[in-house]
Amino acid sequence: MSYEETYQKHPDPAVRRAAFRQFSATLARYQHTFATAYLGQVTREKAAATLRGYDSVIDFLLADQEVPRPLFDRQIDVLMNRLAPVMRRYVRHVAQVRGLDHLEYTDLQIDIDPDFAPQYTRADATTIVEQATAVLGPDYQQLMHQALTQRWVDCAPNVGKDSGAYTEMPYGVHPYIMMTWTDTLPALDTLIHELGHVGQMHYSADANPALTWVMPIYHCEAPSTFNELLLTRYLTQQATDNPRLQRFALSRLLSDTYFHNCVTHLLEAAFQREVYTLIDRGESFDAARLDKLKLQVLRQFWGDTVDLTGAETTWMRQDHYYLGLYSYSYSASLTIATQVWQDLEHDQSSTVQRWRKFLALGDSADPVAAAAVAGVDVTTDAPLQHMVDFLDGTERRIEQLSTTIAQQ
């Protein structure tokens, strides 16, 4: 059992916090090994950037992704400044509902209602997924049905099986999903997320040759997170007389979908930017300096809302730092998905047509052009602000539902 899989959302704060202290202490035992390995990684990247005529490691890494530097910086700066107040308000509300007198880092993703756990069988999941994605067309529904009924999904627990969820596809065959099904909303969320990758891979492979069918990382998570939004819409529409289920679905959206993509990975990207800036200046680092940089980024986002003791060591738990500039792409993808989902509410027919074209692009267009096909202009901060506004409204709706539930 690990902290993140077993104890991160444990309902007992004493158990949860003790587990986090042990987790942090264990990480700290290997801090010098991790710091040395990471220094080796960024030193190699700096050498490669210099050899190719780049003064900045970030510019070098972004060039390979065909992403202009302003997109990367805007993603970090806008969300660090504008999303932070919304998420601070949300975690304070969860703490109030859960009766916590203060917030520690390990409390940030706890369930708002741990005693409410609706059950969904795999048969339920098939029906819900097909109904939630109906807006994307009969052929998309049929693809979902095919994936769920023709053994495209490895969902049984097994000895030695990875605890994550992944989708892969050999070109010319069909996608395969690996996950573990648990009859819960998180499992349903994971399933429809991975099925978003299935849809994108299927349509991209049909429309593109083997060398250009794989979607770039800048927006590869957009199809999957878009499906999560469709699921949340479906669940809330089906629960108009059940405020507890509505709140549960909306809070899952904030504490999992958006927290994972626009908080956890965004803060990793902000941390990476600090590290690469340091390397570009010709400086080096050790574990203590990385702890300081991580804590600096966390404090900028969370302010004095959260006790961050122990959080400074969490830079050691992320292997994305060895994949170049990857972490920021999660929030970039979700920004695109959120804008399209909002457009869907106002002009369903045109939005679906654009989205279906986007799903089939593969790697045939650069990220800016690809987002434009979906109807999103990522060269401005408008989509980012729209996402922040959406999350602000979602958080306020959760507070309203909490008031309604308390009065029942």
Q: Which pLDDT score, from 0 to 100, does residue 357 have? A: 98
Which CATH fold topology does 13-407 show? Neurolysin; domain 3 (1.10.1370)
pTM for the structure as a whole: 0.95
Residue 142, CA distances (Å) to 85, 187, 227, 385 in order: 41, 21, 15, 35
Cα torsion through 8, 13, 14, 16, rounded to 10: 0
Q: Which pLDDT score, from 0 to 100, does residue 68 have? A: 96
Q: What average pLDDT does the segment 6-27 reach?
A: 92
Q: How far apart are CA 234 and CA 241, in angstroms?
A: 14
DSSP 211: T
Which residues lie below 8 Å from residue 219, measured CB to CB, with a gap of 6+? 329, 332, 333, 336, 367, 370, 371
Q: Which two tokens stand for residue 326?
A: 């990857």
DSSP conformation letters of 352-404:
HHHHHHHHT-TTSS-HHHHHHHTT--TTSSHHHHHHHHHHHHHHHHHHHHHHH
Average model confidence (pLDDT) for the chain?
A: 95
Question: What one-letter code names the amino acid at 192?
Answer: I
Tell me: the pLDDT tens digits for 288-327? 999 999 999 999 999 999 999 999 999 998 888 888 999 9
Token look-up 């003064």 returns: 55
Q: Strands 153-154 and 166-168, how do they pair? A: unpaired
Which H/E stretch holds residue 188? helix 185-207
Q: What average pLDDT does the segment 151-170 reach?
A: 90
Which H/E stretch holds residue 176? strand 176-178
Token look-up 């596809």 returns: 169
Q: Which pLDDT score, from 0 to 100, does residue 170 have? A: 94
Tell me: the pLDDT tens digits for 101-145? 999 999 999 999 999 989 999 999 999 999 999 999 999 999 999
- Of 156-170, 192-206, 286-300, 366-380, where does mean pLDDT reach its minimum? 156-170
pLDDT of 175 over the 80 cut:
yes
